Amino acid sequence: MTADMYREYILQHYRSPRNYGRLENPDIVHEDDNPLCGDQVHIEVALDDQDRVADIRFQGKGCAISQASTSILTDKVKGKTLEEIKALTKDDVFQWLRIPISPMRVKCAVLGLMVLQAGIHHYEARRGR
């Protein structure tokens, strides 16, 4: 795909985000914002009995990169274990986005991943792990 097609891919996720909304009985709930701009992401996760992501939803407000990257993230982590998600890095997010991310936009691109990983840490701390 060309850079233009990837830009269009991001805009599609921004306009029609996947897994948008709330869950009825989430195991993990977390939200945070990008302190530089105040844009927010709220993520809810339901786990199966092997601590894999059975379902995931998000809501948020912010720039196209932050909201699209969170939408893509929710698709990518379905079925993954918490350990696999904790091992994800900003480079994984950049690979999914496939457009150059300027230093100014790095926090936008990784906002969803940071919220999800923080939510996992809180969940594990509550369980004494």
Largest separation between any pair of C-alpha atoms in the chain: 46
Q: To the nearest whole angstrom, how small is the minimum distance from the Cβ of residue 34 to ligand FES?
A: 4
78 CB-near residues (< 8 Å, 6+ apart): 53, 55, 56
Indicate whether 66 belongs to the interface with ligand FES (CB under 6 A).
Answer: yes
Indicate whether 37 belongs to the interface with ligand FES (CB under 6 A).
Answer: yes
Sole binder of ligand FES in the list 39, 82, 113, 119 (CB under 6 A) = 39
Candidates 17-25, 46-54, 59-67, 89-97; binding stretch for ligand FES (CB under 6 A)? 59-67
Contact 57, 20 (CB under 8 A): yes
Q: To the nearest whole angstrom, how small is the minimum distance from the Cβ of residue 47 to ligand FES?
A: 27
